[in-house]
Amino acid sequence: MLYSEINLSIKEGIAVITINRPEKANCWTEKMYGEFAQVQKELNDNPGVRVIVLTGAGDKAFCAGIDLSLLAKVNSDFVRTKIGSLHQIHNGWETHPRPVIAAVNGACIGAGMELALSCDMRIAADTAVFSIPEVRFGLAPDMGGTQRLARLVGPGQAKRLILTGKRIGAAEALNIGLVEEVVPAGALMDKTMEAANFIIANAPLAVMYAKKAINLAGESSLAAGLLYEEMASTYCCGTEDKNEAMASYFEKRPPQYKGK
C-alpha cells in the first residue's frame, strides 16, 4: 500500500516506518493516524517482518506532537468520539507481535513522546529532546502518557515531567530510564539496525512470547505472569525452532529459524 505521510521500507526482516513530514517537525495529523492503523495491519500480516523501527524524517524531529491544525479541532466531542480509536494506534505497537524500536532522532514532544513510550525500546540520538507539555495548553496527556510514562520511569519522575511540562535532553532521559540507549546522532540508524539484527538472530516465536510476558508483568500478579511463562515455555519447547536451536548449537552453525 502507498502512504503519503509515512514511508515504509522492508529489508532483511526489518520494517522501517518513517514519519514523513519534516517540514512540520513530523507532527501528527488525523490522516497519519489512519495510515499508522493500516501499516500495523500490513506488517502484522507479513510473516517476513521480524522487527519494526519507528523514526522521523530529517534530523530535527522524531515527532513534535499533534499538528496545530488538528489541535484546533480538538474539543470534548472530538475526544469522546475519536480518542478510543486513536488509543488503539499506540496500543497496537505495544501489543504488536513483533518487537518495535523507536529511533528517536530529534524532538520527541507530546503525542510524539507518547508514541515512543508505546514502543518496546527507545534508542535516542544524543541531540534528541523530550517533553510532554500538554498542561501548558490547558490539556492533560491523553494518548497514554500518564500511564506508560509512570510505568517506565516511576510516578515521581512522570509527575515531574508532566506537571511542569519540562523539556529534557537525551542524557537526562537515559539517566531516568526514559530511553534505553543514547548514541551519536550520526550513528543512530546504524545502532538501531544493530539492535534489530540482534533480535532477528533469535527464534521469532520465542521473541514474540517473551515480549508478551514482559508486557504482562506490568499488568498482572506475579502468579499470573509465572503461569503465562509456563504456558509459553510449554509451547516453545514443542516447536521446530527449539529443535533447530539445539541442533545448530551442537553443530556449531548459525540457526535457520522458520517461526514454527
Average pLDDT, integer, range 245-260 = 92
Question: Computed over its alpha carbons, how large is the radius of gyration of the chain?
Answer: 19
Q: Is 134 among the residues known to form the active site? A: yes
In whole numbers, what is the pLDDT of the chain averaged over residues? Answer: 93
Strand, coil or helix: 53: strand
Set 23, 35, 114, 194: catalytic member: 114
Which residue has cell 527464534? 203
| Residue 70, pLDDT score | 75
Q: Could you read off the pLDDT of 191-223 as tens digits, one per residue? A: 999 999 999 999 999 999 999 999 999 888 999
**Would you give the DSSP letter of residue 110?**
T
Other C-beta atoms closer than 10 Å to the C-beta of 229 total 15
Q: Does 1 have pLDDT greater than 80? A: no
**Residues 142, 61: Cα–Cα separation, whole Å:** 21
| Residue 79, pLDDT score | 77
Residue 177 exposure: Cα atoms within 13 Å on the Cβ side: 11
| Residue 137, pLDDT score | 86
Residue 72 banded pLDDT, cuts 50, 70, 90 = confident
Predicted TM-score of the model (pTM)? 0.93
Average pLDDT, integer, range 234-250 = 93
| Residue 100, pLDDT score | 98
Q: Is 42 among the residues known to form the active site? A: no
Pairing status of strand 107-109 against strand 61-63: parallel
Q: Could you read off the pLDDT of 79-101 as tens digits, one per residue? A: 788 788 888 889 999 999 999 99
* Percent of residues, the chain, with pLDDT higher than 70: 100
Set 23, 30, 134, 230: catalytic member: 134
Q: What domains appear along the chain, each with residue ranges and CATH number?
A: 6-200 (3.90.226.10), 204-250 (1.10.12)
List phi, psi (to 5°) of 15: -95, 125
Q: Does 144 have pLDDT greater than 80? A: yes
